[in-house]
Amino acid sequence: MALVLTNGTYYIATNEHGGIIKTLKMEDAQQFYNVNVAMKKIRKAPGKCKGYYVFDTDGDDKPSTGKKTKRKKYSEQERKMIYIRDDGRCALCGRKITLSEMTIDHIVPLDKNGEDSINNLQSACLACNRFKANIRPDDFMDRITTIFIYQMGKKYGGKISWKIAYKALENII
């Protein structure tokens, strides 16, 4: 998933000094990982970004306006049901959480055509829920994997044990 800013003709890109430029080529556009970050760009430079909106380059979503989707309010009984089903753990990191710490995460985000039903909900700690934001499960897994590989390479890149582990991971991923 890649989000870009467009007005339907031009795309927003960033030059080497961090300034905003406009381009006709989508490949040159600045890519954002979630709608909130893209909308910050628009709010930061309203004059240069007037008439621009967030667009998902996957092509299977309608362009997002950045407005939040109205969410259903879940009862205490529904929250407990989700909590028990997920064994009192964050479905993203596996950490044990209390019912009061639990946030509800939409597995497939509402703005990615996910349903606002119990089957599309999971328990999440606040940090994971914020990190996942409105990312689809496969895209989220790709991001986590990329971060893990990069950070481990930074920390242990020169060690033979990391090189062996990396080769093994390459075959799995």
pLDDT band at 59 (very low <50, low <70, confident <90, very high): low
pLDDT band at 61 (very low <50, low <70, confident <90, very high): very low
**Considering its fold, how many domains does the chain have in total?**
3
CA 147 vs CA 142, 151, 153: distances in Å = 9, 6, 10
Query: Does pLDDT of 42 surpass 60?
Result: yes
In a domain? residue 64: no
In a domain? residue 8: yes
Quote the CA–CA distance of 36 and 117 in Å, as a whole number: 23
Expressed as residue numbers, the domain containing 159 is: 137-172
Q: How many CA atoms lie within 13 A of 56 on its CB side?
A: 19
Mean pLDDT, residues 27-35 taken together: 83
Query: Does pLDDT of 18 surpass 60?
Result: yes
Lowest mean pLDDT of 35-44, 45-54, 66-75, name the range: 66-75
- Same domain membership, residue 9 and residue 44: yes
- Same domain membership, residue 128 and residue 80: yes
Query: What pTM value is reported for the model?
Result: 0.58
- Same domain membership, residue 150 and residue 124: no
Helix (H) or strand (E) holding 148: helix 137-156
Quote the CA–CA distance of 143 and 33 in Å, as a whole number: 9
In a domain? residue 124: yes
- Same domain membership, residue 83 and residue 124: yes
Query: Does pLDDT of 116 surpass 50?
Result: yes
What value does the mean pLDDT of the chain take? 86
Q: How many CA atoms lie within 13 A of 171 on its CB side?
A: 5
In a domain? residue 63: no
In a domain? residue 84: yes
- Same domain membership, residue 111 and residue 156: no
